[in-house]
Amino acid sequence: DLFAFTCYHCESYSQIDLVVATPQGLVVIEVKDYSGWLFGSERQRYWTQILNYGKEKYRFYNPIMQNAGHIKALKEQSAQFAQLPIYNIVLFDGDCTLKDVSYSQFGTFVGYANNIMRVLKTIKGFGEAEYTDKKEVARVLREAVRNGENPAIVASHVADVQSRNWDCPQPVIHWFPRFFRIFRWRRWIRF
């Protein structure tokens, strides 16, 4: 199920892949399906995907920042949500290799989908969160699941994401180096 939370600051919806309520707080998981080599840090707006042994480069929106937007929408749901610890988890599935991915913010984890149990075990060691109303948490999460099943809300969210090109890797174009190589190649064939 997908979770769709009302994002009050942008008057739209924020779609979250998975939210888990644990004794330590909420775990927000963003799952990405990529192949190739991936490079990026928590502070870069875009990360890089390299395919075909370096012949193809694409950029995609930083999934840590994307999930931070989801967490912001969650915190806007109520005073309780604003106070709860919320963990930012980004998991990659598919045939990808995290080559140079760095992050240091507490409560942020980036890894492979098969690392989920290790991440949850780490979070379990952080101490318990102070839930003031567990029924409210369950109600908000149930409502989010209903929103995620609403075709009109989903279509609106998809259109918003497509207009921003966040989920569509964009080719990285290096004009000068390509021109320079052609120029050098032409020099070599002149007699």
Q: Tell me: the pLDDT tens digits for 104-132? A: 999 999 999 999 999 999 999 999 999 99
Distance from C-alpha of 67 to C-alpha of 120, rounded to nearest angstrom: 17
b vs e for 107-144, b when ≥16 Cβ sit within 10 Å of the residue's Cβ?
bebbeeeeebeebbeebeeeeebebeeeeebeebbeeb
Across the range 166-178, mean pLDDT stands at 54
The pTM for the full model equals 0.80
Residue 144 pLDDT > 90: no
With 0-12 / 13-18 / 19 or more C-beta atoms within 10 angstroms meaning exposed / middle / buried, residue 174 is exposed
**32 - beta bridge partners?**
92
pLDDT one-digit tens code per residue, 71-86: 999 999 999 999 999 9
In 32-97, alpha helices (H): 63-75, 79-83
- What distances in angstroms separate CA 22 from CA 85, 130, 172, one per listed residue? 10, 11, 40
pLDDT band at 154 (very low <50, low <70, confident <90, very high): confident
- AA letter at 73: A
Neighbours of 91 (CB within 10 A): 21
Q: Which domain holds residue 110?
A: 3-189
Higher model confidence: residue 178 or residue 166? 166
Query: For residue 123, what pLDDT is reported?
Result: 97
Query: For residue 19, what pLDDT is reported?
Result: 93
CA-CA-CA-CA torsion sign (6, 7, 11, 17): negative
3-class DSSP state for residue 176? Answer: helix
Residue 1 pLDDT > 50: no
Query: For residue 10, what pLDDT is reported?
Result: 47
pLDDT band at 24 (very low <50, low <70, confident <90, very high): very high
- If one counts the domains in the chain, the total is 1
Dig out the tokens for 126 from the structure: 């952080």
Residue 169 pLDDT > 90: no
